[in-house]
Each structure stands twice: as structure tokens, then as C-alpha cells.
Amino acid sequence: MLAVRRGKKVEFSPEVLEQAQQIIRRYPEGQQKSALIPLLHLAQEQFGGYLSVEAMDYIAELLHLKPIEVYEVATFYSMFHLKPVGRYVLEVCHTGPCEIKGAEWLIQTLKKKLGIQEGETTADGLFTLRRVECLAACGYAPMLQCGERYYEFLDTEEKVDALLEQLRQNAIT
């Protein structure tokens, strides 16, 4: 198993637990397993941006599933991170339409500016750089996703600098 143990139990706060229960109630009687992917998103968001073994076991418990049913789903989907990541995960689309508009340029530029390779995290824990497949922003390339947002038309060094600066500022405030 590729996933990481964090060494201590995790659980949702009462408010988040209520949110989780609401999600579970959206599905028909007896079909609570449908809530698995939404709850894994919630867990990833709540527990530091990745899914530790403990986080997955906790979700299994909430949904009355066997842990393996959670692991096999968590490992199938590319949005779930099984290892710790930086505060901002920069996910650059490198599929065809983005490639012809400079996706490789954007990736190399970010590597150089951040001093990391793909898949790595900066020493200050702020940025992780990844390649991802088409994000349905093909007309607005080159682009990347970070958190809840897309950043599009990142075609000059100035724009890349401005984005990194903005994220660094957000981290402080």
C-alpha cells in the first residue's frame, strides 16, 4: 500500500461531522456507500490535503465499509493524494490542446521558479507541482488548477510570478 500512516487517529469536528451526515442522507436508503467520494473529498480537505491511512479508516467507519473498499476507491481517482502535499498544489494540464499552447513551457517555468521537480514540494511546504490531464479549460491554456480555482492564460513569466506572489501572500494572511 502506497499510503502513509500519520500515527494518530483523526476525526471530524462536530460541525463537519454534521456536514458529513447531511451528505450521507442525500442518497437513498441502503446506498450510503455513494457518499464515499464526497466524504473522501471532505476528509482530504479537513486532514491536511491528503488521505492518510487513518483518514481512510475513519471514513470506512463512518460509512460502515471495510477499509479495503475505501482504499481501492482512494487509489483509483487522481484527485486523491495519498502522501502529504504542500499547502498549494499546482496542477498543470499537459494534455494535447494545452500542450500546443505552451503547457510544457509553464511546467518548466514553474520548476525553475520553485526549484523543484514534478511531484515534489518546496522546502517551505508551500507548493507542490503536478501534471494532470485535461481539465476542460482547453481554450484558455496554458492553465493550472490550484485548490478550488483554475488559473488560465498563464502565458508569460509576469503572470506566473504574479500568481506565485499572490499565493504566498494568501499563505501569510
**Where do contacts with another protein occur on this chain (CB under 8 A)?**
26-28, 31, 33-38, 40-41, 63, 69, 72-73, 76-80, 94-97, 99-102, 104-105, 108-109, 111-112, 132-141, 145, 147-149, 157
Cβ-based nearer residue to another protein, 53 or 107: 107
- The count of residues in the chain is 173
Cβ-based nearer residue to another protein, 7 or 76: 76
134 binds ligand FES (CB under 6 A): yes
138 binds ligand FES (CB under 6 A): yes
Spatial distance between the Cα atoms of 86 and 121, rounded to a whole number of angstroms: 6
The count of other CB atoms within 10 Å of the CB of residue 93 is 27
Please tell me the count of residues contacting ligand FES according to CB under 6 A: 11
| Minimum CB distance to ligand FES, residue 148 (Å) | 16
Cell numbers 507541482 correspond to 129
Q: Largest alpha-carbon pair distance within the chain?
A: 53
| Minimum CB distance to another protein, residue 171 (Å) | 19
Spatial distance between the Cα atoms of 42 and 36, rounded to a whole number of angstroms: 10
What does 68 interact with, of ligand FES, another protein, none (CB < 5 to 8 A by kind)?
none
Cβ-based nearer residue to another protein, 21 or 78: 78
Name every residue whose Cβ is closer than 8 Å to that of residue 157 and which is 6 or more positions away in sequence: 109
What does 148 interact with, of another protein, ligand FES, none (CB < 5 to 8 A by kind)?
another protein
Site track for ligand FES across 57-96, x = CB under 6 A: ------------------------------------x-xx
Name the residues that contact ligand FES, by CB under 6 A.
Answer: 93, 95-98, 134-138, 141
